[in-house]
Amino acid sequence: MTKSAMPLLKVGVACLISAAYPAVFPAFAQGEKLVSQSSSVAGGLSYADVADLADRAPLVAQVRIRNIIALKPDQAGSVPAGKKRLFVEADVTSLIRGESGIAPRVTYLYDAPVDARGRLPRLKKASMILFARPGTRPGEVQLVAPDAQVAATPADLARTKAVLAALVAPDAPPRIVGVGDAFHVAGTIAGEGETQIFLRTDNGDPVSLSILRRPGQPPRWAVALGEIVDEAARAPEPGSLLWYRLACALPGALPPGSTRALAPQDADAARADYAFVLNALGPCGRTRGRG
C-alpha cells in the first residue's frame, strides 16, 4: 500500500467503525504488521451452518482480500477473547446474492481468531465468502455474524449456492417459529393410530407433521406444506432446506400446550410420535454458534 493511499484508507476505517460502533473510536492510527500463518480459515461448514448465515444475509459475495489492518485496542472496542478486530479491504470476484448489486471493492470489520502466541491467520490474498448486509456508505458492508467470513473452498461455494437457490425458490418452506396444536386418533386395533401436529411459521403458511402407525409396520411420517395432507407428502431429504427448517427449529419435546385438549392416552401417543419425528430428522448439525 502506497503512502498516498494511506489517508484514504484511514478515512475508510474511521467511517466504517463509526457506523458499526457509534461514538467509541478516536481517529484512526496505522495498524500493526500482521504475522502470517495457515490460510485454512473456518472451512468445512455443515448445511445448517451455511443455511444459518445465508438465511440472514441479503448480500453474499466471493471476495479476494486486498489489505488488512489490525486495530489497536483503543480503536477496536470490545473484542471477544482470542480474537483481534481487523479492518478489511477486499476485491469482489463474484456476487452470489444481492439484488442491489455491490461495489467492485468493499470494506468491513472482521474479528479474526489468533493463536496462542497472538498471531493472526494468513488472510491477505485469500478467497473468502462474505455473508453480509450493505453498510451505510458505498462500498461498506457489515457481516451478519462475527464468523460470517468463510474460506471460499469449492465445497462451501457449491453448498452456499445450493442453499441460496433453495431459499429463493417459489416453493421454499417458511421458517418454523413454534409448535401448535397436536391431534391423535387411535385406530380400531392395538398399535394403530394417526397423529397430526401443526407448526407455526413466520409468514403464517400452514405446515404440519403427520405420523401414521399400523400394526406390524414401521411408523411413517410426512410433512405437508399446505392445508391438506395428500399422498404427495413425504419426509424431507436430509440436507435439504425443509429438513433444515425442521431439524434446526423444532423444540426437543412437544410443548405441553400442544396437547392440552387431548385425553391423557392420546397426549402420550402424540408425544411419542413427535419424538419419533425428531429421531428421524436427526441432529441439526451446527458446528458454529448463532451469533
pTM score, whole prediction:
0.80
- CATH number of domain containing 104: 2.40.50.120
- Give the chain's length: 291
pLDDT at 290: 60
* Cβ atoms 120, 34 nearer than 8 A: yes
Encode the chain (291 residues) as per-residue pLDDT tens digits. Answer: 444 443 444 444 444 444 444 333 322 222 333 333 222 334 478 999 999 999 999 999 999 999 999 888 777 778 878 888 999 999 999 999 998 899 999 999 999 988 888 788 889 999 999 999 999 998 999 999 999 999 999 999 999 999 999 999 999 999 999 999 999 999 888 889 999 999 999 999 999 999 999 998 999 999 999 877 666 689 999 999 999 999 999 999 999 999 999 999 999 999 999 999 999 999 999 988 665
Domain boundary among 128, 144, 168: 168
Domain boundary among 120, 141, 168: 168
Domain around 64? 6-168
Domain boundary among 168, 203, 237: 168
List CB contacts of 8: < 8 A, sequence separation 6 or more.
none
Residue 287 lies in a domain: no
pLDDT at 11: 42
pLDDT at 286: 92
List CB contacts of 264: < 8 A, sequence separation 6 or more.
none
What own/partner pairs with CB < 8 Å and gap ≥ 24 does 72-76 have? 72/29, 72/31, 72/32, 74/25, 74/26, 75/17, 75/25, 75/26, 75/28, 75/29
Residues 110 and 80 in one domain: yes
* Cβ atoms 47, 159 nearer than 8 A: yes
* Phi, psi of 211, deg, nearest 5: -125, 125
Number of domains within the chain = 2
pLDDT at 231: 67
Residue 291 lies in a domain: no
Nearest CA among 216, 174, 193 for reference residue 272: 193
